[in-house]
Amino acid sequence: MRIKCEMDIINRLLPSLNVKKGGKGCHTQLSIGRKPQTDSKEGILFLMACTAKDRNGAKYQIKDNIEQIFAKFINEGKATIRLKDPQQDLCLCKADPLQLKNFLTLLRKASLGQDIERISLSTLAPASTKSVDKPKTKMSVTSKKNYPLTKSFPSLLEHLHISQCRMKKIDSRIFQLKKLIHLDLQENVIEELPPTFSQLTSLRELILSTNKIQTLPSSLCLLPNWKETLSLLDLSNNLINLLPIQLCELDNLVTLKVDHNKLETFPPTIGRLKKLKYLSASHNKIETLPCSFMQLRLEHLDLFSNPFADVTKSDLEETEWQVPSLVECCGRMIRKNRLPYSDEDLHTHLCRYLDSARVCWCGGFCFEGCVRAMTSFSLKTLSPTVSAVDLQGRTDVPVLLFLCSPQCQRKYKINPYAYWR
């Protein structure tokens, strides 16, 4: 029986000799078996640990030689085997929890001299290079000829970079990489993003710059793994003209890059991205910012080369207020309480209506029953590092806001710069 893990050997005599243990754990193949050419029933059972430096392996007798097994964190793939002779602790980690449980159960039985003949044991032969080499966690493919067509991707990949491969669709094999943390697919010709991103449960950083993506599907922004773990999203140098309002549900997003697209504005609830620190959206078609943009607290902001209008004073529409419709009242409550909805729950027309919600100056939501206002705001109040929006060094930009009630309108007239926080 064999398992693969990382193992660190601690000599329990070293502290008494005032010697500190050095080194780190290394990838190891652990086996339970008998030496070759010994009788299968009478041969002595050994625990053998093979590493890349010692493929022949270190062998430890099992019977009456296991002092204790510490398995408190076995569900995390961790355990410690304490030997009597030599006086060492074998500290295991990064093992498959189920395989580790079975391995330690067999080891306990063997140490007590119980019958384990029904279980197939390993031959204690030197390990192959493939078995003891550390699993590959990073991979970079920068040309089409090097793309693995006949070989599968290493299953334990954490960082994958694929560029300049003329990839039109994302390879379905990538979505089988459960350990993937960083996925970089820049400089390809990808046009669509499939819903199978839900399989990448560990994904934290996604780079899709310099492709031909036209839309970011709203369904992706609602994936549990995106909402809980995604911290970096790079969509720069694409063909996107609208970011879905569901983007603002990415609670852990820290970095958002959408430079060189066709964006005309940001989602009205972008201020909900409380953890967002780095935002760049240069070279787009943004003319105004939504008022919730003022809620952001950034460390770096770049909105260079956008056709912002030049607003020098507050501009407020004058209109007669009417009682909101029943549909508007329902829509306001749904958006206020952040109730989830989809085309499976509501008619498509109602979903699009809810998507079109506007954020009031006070923080509430409104639809048709609102008043439009325009004012200017200095980006320097949002971030210590701000790039000017044009070559003249301007940092004041127009802010489009909506007022949901006569009360908000009166307050706005008194102080149009008392932005909601």
Helix runs in 162-223, H state only = 218-221
User: Would you put residue 299 in left (φ > 0), alpha (ψ -120 to 50) or beta?
Assistant: alpha
For residues 351 and 220, what is the distance between their CA atoms, to the nearest angstrom? 16
Burial classification of residue 171, based on how many CB atoms lie within 10 Å of its CB (0-12 exposed, 13-18 middle, 19 or more buried)? middle
Predicted pLDDT of residue 275: 95
- Sign of torsion over alpha carbons 266, 267, 268, 270: negative
Of 57-66, 159-168, 279-288, the poorest mean pLDDT is in 57-66
For residues 26 and 8, what is the distance between their CA atoms, to the nearest angstrom? 7
Residue 225: pLDDT over 90? no
Cβ neighbours of 61 (radius 10 Å): 15
For the chain, how long is the longest CA-to-CA vector?
98
Average pLDDT of 389-395?
87
Average pLDDT of 18-47?
73
Using an 8 Å Cβ cutoff, are 53 and 28 in contact?
Answer: no
Average pLDDT of 126-148?
85
Over residues 36-79, the pLDDT tens digits come to 655 555 568 889 999 888 888 899 999 889 999 999 999 999 99
233 — pLDDT class (breaks 50, 70, 90): very high
Residue 358 or residue 120, greater confidence = 358
Predicted pLDDT of residue 417: 66
312 — pLDDT class (breaks 50, 70, 90): low
Structural domains in the chain, CATH included, are 2-132 (2.30.29.180), 138-315+379-395 (3.80.10.10)
For residues 314 and 316, what is the distance between their CA atoms, to the nearest angstrom? 6
pTM: 0.75
Torsion of CA 206, 207, 211, 215, to 10 degrees: 40
Portion of the chain with pLDDT greater than 70, in percent: 93
